[in-house]
Amino acid sequence: MKNQLNKDQIRKDFETKQHSYFESNYTGRNQLRDLRNSIIRETSGSFKFKRVLDVGCGPALLYPEILERCEEYVAVDLVESNLTRLVDTTKSDKVDTYLLDLDSDELPSGDFDLIICSGSLEYMDNPIQNLTRLVGELSKDGVLIASFPNGNCYSRVWEKNVYIPLSSMIKKLLGKRGSLYRRTLFDPSDVLELVANSAESEIRHFGFSLFIAPFDRLFREIDRSLVRWAEYKEWKRPKFFFSEFIVILKRG
């Protein structure tokens, strides 16, 4: 599979750098992830759910308020240590965990009222096929919330086609191991068109991006301030400024 080396690297990084990765990405230091999660919380509303599926859950329960409102919370991930940490920290008998790869493994039985797939589809071999599979696992009137890196965003295109290949080559020449994962970028209109026959859908762009890599990291605080400012402005901004989008699908 084309992304197998990528997936092996993800597993290795989570397992060998679990604490540092957790601190960098799950404690309020990753603004894009935090913004994505806040939108998912907002979109899920205050409804009660019988069964929830969290695909690519990571090492922390990001939606404790959803856990409180459901009867069963099914957490799926590619990395065993993530699931172990999730169980150890959550300590809830509502949580069931499954170690699996959506590209090759069967999902738990369906009829989920809510499915969350945050920051996962871009690392899969067959993301659109898997998105369709997830829609099929929804109960009647069930909702799927999935995030995607925006293929129309200039900073994403730069990162994928220039920055990551160049950075990886330099690190290899210096004898260093890189952890910049290759990912698929998505056109929002293509995603909506492919699921149009199976679900009602809406889309939300977010993650206003001005700097390209590595300047987004060099000027992190300026970038963070711009993101916060832009999220609360009502003026119309070109979609190529937004690094991600979330699609909300409701199965009829």
- 234 token code pair: 């009502």
- Which secondary structure element, helix H or strand E, spans residue 133, and what is its range? helix 127-136
Greater confidence, 231 or 92? Answer: 92
- CB contact set of 229 (below 8 Å; sequence gap of 6+): none
The CATH number assigned to the domain holding 235 equals 3.40.50.150
- In this predicted model, what pLDDT tens digit does every residue of 141-167 receive, in sequence order? 999 999 999 999 999 999 999 998 888
What is the pLDDT, as a whole number, of residue 18? 65
Other C-beta atoms within 10 Å of 20: how many? 10
Place of tokens 């001005």: 210
- In this predicted model, what pLDDT tens digit does every residue of 180-238 receive, in sequence order? 677 899 999 999 888 888 789 999 998 887 888 888 878 878 877 776 776 666 556 67
Least confident of 1-5, 11-15, 120-124, 166-170: 1-5
The strand pairing partners of 147, in sequence order, are: 246
Could you give the number of structural domains in the chain? Answer: 1
pTM: 0.89
- Structural domain including 142 reads 4-250
Alpha-carbon dihedral sign for residues 220, 222, 224, 226: negative
User: Where residue 1 falls among pLDDT bands split at 50, 70, 90?
Assistant: very low
